[in-house]
Chains A and B, each alone.
Chain A
Amino acid sequence: MPPIRTAAVAALLMASPALAHGPTRQKAEETVTIAAPPDKVWAVIANFHDMGWDPLVAATTGDGANTLQSFRTLKLKAGGELSDDLEEYDAAHFTYATFLPHNDPKVLPVTNLSTHLSVAPADGGKSVVTWRAAFYRGDPKGDPAPDMNDAAAVKAVHAFLRGGLDGLAAKFPGS
């Protein structure tokens, strides 16, 4: 097969948005630097069942225990609820991980969202908080609507993580 034929097929595929769909997992990451040491920042976020530090969340309900597979329900200020569970909890390393097994994609246009939230030391007694997410788009089948495609999912998750971290930083003057 001459190389020109391969290039032609590749060009055809790129030029056909109707073909652009597939089971591709997405990732997003946001970070914020906070003017406080890690233990002080961790103290604010350490309770899985209290998302009071996140301005996008109106209320959190759960059993209060930071034990694995414990569920919490986040009532969002923008409307709707998300119920995720605790997958990993390591207070010594200031990190926990969550998983959202089922959700209304109208509330957040994703499926199977998992996140890692962690605090690490930074120069000058500060902290860097990192929130990472892995997820599929809201409609995992072929040919999703524009508000349920990969781009919509990536945009929504970035906004969700960013809003939370900015709210957390706002709790520490000078951040």
Chain B
Amino acid sequence: MLVALGNRVAAGAEAFITDQQSNQVAVIDPDTGKRLATIDVPGHPAGIAMSKDGTRAYVTGPDGPSLSVIDTVGRRVLRTTPLPGGPLGIAVAPDGGTVYVADWYGSDVLALDPPTGALRYRIRAGQSPSGLALTPDGKLLVVAARLDDSVVLIAAARHTAVATIKVGAHPFGVTIDAAGRRAYAACVESDDVAVIDLAERRLVARVKVGRRPYVVALTPALGFVTNELAGTVTPFDLATLTPLPPIRVGENPEGMQPSRDFARLYVANWMDDTLSVLDVATLRPLHTFPAGDSPRAFGSFLR
């Protein structure tokens, strides 16, 4: 079906799912559920960031504590580097030049050299930094400072915070839209999604969602959030910022990402050990596939 352009990108996709309890990354075809490979990764892998060209996946091992670099084509770990603290959230710069890792136990984001994992510098971010995201131009690093109930904006080139924006309680996952205009942070303890205008550096709205929201995914018209305690995904309209009825997925859904053509949404269900596939057009579940032991997939996991 090479002519079916809309499906082609999605059909060629691979999901790299961090299976925290089995110390593995499962490589899965997210549209058929077929297990393509299993890669051993130490440290109870949780966070993942895919390079823009899809050739490298950077994975945090909070119990290492460590960073593992995966050759996604060769299906192997190139290098595992010990890190300080509790590395969890992770993002890679759009140009591939820097990997950012949040130290959940501390207040810093570590800027690492991607090929070697060497620590280049630390960025002061706020208490218990969790989710990380970069604007498409790589200039702004957005950090969910969980214990500060804040989202911190960091000028990547200057390694310093330029704004701290109060949001709901305990923000965890943070996602930026394709235009680099807005950031969305899932606030676990206040059951809402904070919407932030990045140019104006202000909170635009708090969208009420389900119980203990973790991760936000964005398509052109709709945002989605995994409600970890409710076992659901809540869609919300990005223009009106109003929530739609929740969609039932598995128990303890966490990591979530749309296909490149935005037709599908892939959700890792931690308790059920599954990957849910949702149809974005109809907002209905299409498939539930096995995904390994305790999948978290916290970050960008598709190539």
Q: List residues of chain A with CB under 8 Å of any chain B CB.
A: 1, 5-6, 9-10, 12-14, 19-25, 27, 87-88, 97, 99, 114, 116, 132, 134, 141-142
Contact = CB atoms under 8 A, between A and B. Distances in A.
Nearest to A116: B251
A95 B105 CA distance: 36
Nearest to A21: B63
A21 B271 CA distance: 21
B62 A24 contact: yes
Given A27-B294, A134-B271, A141-B105, A22 B62 contact: yes
Interface string B227-260: 0011100000000000000000001100000000
Interface of B: 20-21, 42-44, 46, 61-66, 77-82, 85-86, 88, 104-105, 211, 229-231, 251-252, 270-271, 294
B86 A21 contact: yes
Given A23-B104, A27-B271, A1 B79 contact: yes
Main secondary structure of the interface of A (DSSP, over half): mixed
A23 B20 CA distance: 11
Contacts of B78: 1, 6
16 contacts: A6-B78, A13-B82, A19-B63, A19-B64, A21-B65, A22-B62, A22-B65, A22-B88, A24-B20, A25-B270, A25-B294, A27-B21, A114-B252, A132-B251, A132-B271, A134-B252
Nearest to A10: B42
Contacts of B229: 87, 97, 99, 114
Closest 10 CB pairs of A and B: A22-B62, A22-B63, A142-B105, A24-B44, A9-B80, A1-B79, A23-B104, A10-B42, A13-B64, A22-B86
A13 B42 contact: yes
A10 B46 CA distance: 17
A21 B104 CA distance: 12
Q: Which of A9, A22, A25 has the most CB of B within 10 A?
A: A22
Contacts of A9: 66, 79-82
A13 B229 CA distance: 32
A139 B43 CA distance: 18
A19 B105 CA distance: 13
B133 to A, nearest CB: 19
Nearest to B115: A1
